């Protein structure tokens, strides 16, 4: 009997471990399924060509050797290791290495600093200091040559070096020479030579690999690794003031979302408490009307709301968005359900102690509603932060008053036509950061609020 019992115990233990393995394996698969697209999109926002196929998880922007090189080149170019640039007094040594097949005599590549605008969309309409007007390239020198084998082909590896400088100019001149934000660089190899590596990996290889091209040879760490994110702030600017559109849209979204949160925290909690505790004539009918309004889509009422905002001269204004948002009936429902779960004995004890209804609500009941208020905060902020339809109706045509969803739509029309998907992905990820932070901070309250809102005491 004893061996039989031990066998049964081992069998049951294996069954438990098998079930646990299936559960955790399923959860892991679901996590990869849902998080995988975000991971791929984030990597795409770092790439020069997000649409490359086959997709690679290892590329120039994620290699530590390029991080170090970009940092050093940014320091040499403008004394700015993060964002780089090309300032007077810059002295930038640069090396490129080629494979030369056997039977081919190595030839010196051609180095040029081209005139190149920032990019597509809004970046193309602004004038910027061109490094090509001030850069001086030293003669290209061969520094090493050694036999090598690449694949099945014999040959030699040849390394060339040159220096890009920015003379300071006449110290007695009345005007100082400007700093260029970027140092574009093209290195063209003679036919037959194959590019291998360089001080900093190029952004792209053109003309069947003969031309190695850098958007900036002194980019700095952020300017190279997070180039598209830097472009979001540098290129998307107001043509009239030169200020960053993206920063303004972010501030607009924060303003509208925070005002919506404050309005809903105050009025939804007051309305929810009144429906849950106070004796009002027709309270049941009013609550039924609230449920009915929750079922009516906003698109069905936008014409009447639009006409009201037009008559109030609030179209094109952030205050028009705030007035339209008003109080969300779903938030009133959430608070009502929570307050119904609060024991009445607490309010009766406060009444015995001499507290009036207002004191009872603000000093006793409302502090107890922290979980529901946390859920209300994150749901309201997230909903308004991502609100597109109402923003499109109220703010259409006023680029300076756009919120982030409208701004992202503008990016799609301005940069999507040119195929500049990297910048569009970067702007989308930047718009997600506040929501992620808010959810991490209020996650505990959100879970508690959702669970307790369904209770009824």
What does the pLDDT look like over 366-396, one tens digit per residue?
A: 888 888 888 888 888 888 898 888 888 888 7
Rounded mean pLDDT of 6-19?
Answer: 71
Say what the pTM is.
Answer: 0.81
Cβ distance 404 to 434 under 8 Å? no
Residue 208 has pLDDT above 90, yes or no: no
Distance CA 378, CA 359 (A): 26
Helix/strand/coil for 90? coil
Give the model's pLDDT for residue 176.
79
Residue 123 has pLDDT above 70, yes or no: no
pLDDT tens track for 220-243: 999 999 999 998 888 878 777 778
Distance CA 261, CA 438 (A): 12
Question: In this structure, what CATH number is given to the domain that contains residue 410?
Answer: 1.10.3720.10
Burial of 371 (0-12, 13-18, 19+ CB in 10 A): buried
Shared domain check, 357 and 324: yes
Distance CA 311, CA 292 (A): 27
Give the model's pLDDT for residue 209.
84
Helix/strand/coil for 100? strand
Give the model's pLDDT for residue 174.
52
Give the model's pLDDT for residue 448.
53
208 lies in some domain: yes
Give the model's pLDDT for residue 447.
53
Shared domain check, 280 and 170: no
Give the model's pLDDT for residue 457.
42
pLDDT tens track for 143-198: 999 998 888 889 999 999 999 999 986 665 556 789 999 999 999 998 889 999 99
Output the CA–CA distances (angstroms, integers) from residue 297 to 278, 294, 377, 410, in the order listed.
29, 8, 22, 25
pLDDT tens track for 273-291: 888 888 778 778 888 888 8
Shared domain check, 209 and 138: yes
Rounded mean pLDDT of 353-367?
Answer: 83
With CA atoms as reference, report the closest residue to 344 among 388, 279, 402: 279
Distance CA 41, CA 425 (A): 7
> What percentage of residues in the chain have a pLDDT greater than 90?
30
239 lies in some domain: no
Cβ distance 77 to 131 under 8 Å? no
Residue 350 has pLDDT above 50, yes or no: yes
Shared domain check, 195 and 252: no
Shared domain check, 402 and 341: yes
- Total domains in the fold of the chain: 2
Residue 454 has pLDDT above 60, yes or no: no
- Which domain range does residue 339 map to? 245-452
Give the model's pLDDT for residue 308.
86
Q: Which residues contact 412 (CB under 8 A, 6 or more apart)?
A: 424
Q: Establish whether the linkage from the previous residue to 300 is cis, with ω within 30° of 0.
A: no
37 lies in some domain: no
Shared domain check, 280 and 309: yes
Distance CA 344, CA 360 (A): 12
Indicate the range of 312-321, 364-373, 409-418 predicted with least confidence: 409-418
Q: Which residues contact 191 (CB under 8 A, 6 or more apart)?
A: 210
Q: How confident is the model at residue 450 (pLDDT cuts 50, 70, 90)?
A: very low
Residue 335 has pLDDT above 90, yes or no: no
Distance CA 196, CA 101 (A): 13
151 lies in some domain: yes
Shared domain check, 290 and 179: no
Shared domain check, 219 and 81: yes
Q: Of 161, 196, 226, which residue constitutes the final position of a domain?
A: 226
Number of H helices, E strands in the chain: 16, 9
11 lies in some domain: no
106 lies in some domain: yes
| Phi (first) and psi of residue 13, to 5 degrees | -65, -40
Residue 69 has pLDDT above 80, yes or no: yes
Distance CA 366, CA 368 (A): 5
Shared domain check, 402 and 278: yes
Cβ distance 330 to 292 under 8 Å? no
**H-type helices in 341-420, by residue range?**
344-352, 357-360, 366-368, 370-385, 389-395, 404-415
Shared domain check, 259 and 143: no
Shared domain check, 144 and 66: yes
Shared domain check, 298 and 205: no
231 lies in some domain: no
Q: Which residues contact 29 (CB under 8 A, 6 or more apart)?
A: none
User: From the CB of residue 395, how many other CB atoms can be counted at a distance below 10 Å?
Assistant: 22
Q: Of 226, 256, 277, which residue constitutes the final position of a domain?
A: 226
With CA atoms as reference, report the closest residue to 45 among 436, 406, 432: 432
442 lies in some domain: yes
Distance CA 408, CA 43 (A): 19
Q: Of 170, 198, 226, which residue constitutes the final position of a domain?
A: 226
pLDDT tens track for 18-39: 777 777 777 777 766 767 778 8
Point out which residues pair with 162 in neighbouring strands. Answer: 94
């Amino acid at each position: 009997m004893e061996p039989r019992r031990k066998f049964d115990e081992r069998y049951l233990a294996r069954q438990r471990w098998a079930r646990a393995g299936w559960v955790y394996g399923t959860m892991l698969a679901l996590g990869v399924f849902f998080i995988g697209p975000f991971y791929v999109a984030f990597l795409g926002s770092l790439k020069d060509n997000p649409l490359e196929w086959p997709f690679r998880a290892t590329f120039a922007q994620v290699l530590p050797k390029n991080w170090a090189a970009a940092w050093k080149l940014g320091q040499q170019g403008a004394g700015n290791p993060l964002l780089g640039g090309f300032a007077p007094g810059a002295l930038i040594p640069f090396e490129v290495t080629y494979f030369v097949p056997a039977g081919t005599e190595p030839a010196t590549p051609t180095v040029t600093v081209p005139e190149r605008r920032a990019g597509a969309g809004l970046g193309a309409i602004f004038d910027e200091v061109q490094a090509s007007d001030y850069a001086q390239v030293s003669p290209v020198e061969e520094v090493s040559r050694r036999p090598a084998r690449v694949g099945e082909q014999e040959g030699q590896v040849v390394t060339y070096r040159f220096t890009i400088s920015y003379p300071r100019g006449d110290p007695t001149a009345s005007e100082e020479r400007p700093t260029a934000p970027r140092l574009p660089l093209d290195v063209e190899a003679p036919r037959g030579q194959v590019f291998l590596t360089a001080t900093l990996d190029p952004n792209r290889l053109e003309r069947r690999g003969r031309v190695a091209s850098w958007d900036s040879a002194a980019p700095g760490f952020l300017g190279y690794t997070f180039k598209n994110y830097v472009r979001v702030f540098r290129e998307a600017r107001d043509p009239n003031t030169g200020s960053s559109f993206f920063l303004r849209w972010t501030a607009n979204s924060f303003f509208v979302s925070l005002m919506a949160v404050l309005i809903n925290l105050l009025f939804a909690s007051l309305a929810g408490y009144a429906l849950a505790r106070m004796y009002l004539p027709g309270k049941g009918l009013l609550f039924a009307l609230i449920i009915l309004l929750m079922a009516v889509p906003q698109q069905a009422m936008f014409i009447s709301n639009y006409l009201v905002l037009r008559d109030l001269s609030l179209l094109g204004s952030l205050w028009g968005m705030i007035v339209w948002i008003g109080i969300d009936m779903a938030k009133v429902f959430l608070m009502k359900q929570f307050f119904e779960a609060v024991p009445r004995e607490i309010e009766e004890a406060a009444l015995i102690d001499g507290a009036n209804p207002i004191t009872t609500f603000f000093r006793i009941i409302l502090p107890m509603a922290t979980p529901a208020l946390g859920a209300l905060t994150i749901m309201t902020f997230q909903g308004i932060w991502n609100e597109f339809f109402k923003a499109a109706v109220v703010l259409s045509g006023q680029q300076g008053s756009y919120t982030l969803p409208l701004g992202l739509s503008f990016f799609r029309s301005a940069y999507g036509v040119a195929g500049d998907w990297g910048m569009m992905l970067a702007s989308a990820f930047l718009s997600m950061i506040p929501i992620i932070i808010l959810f991490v901070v209020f996650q505990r309250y959100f879970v508690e609020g959702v669970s307790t809102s369904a209770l009824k005491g």
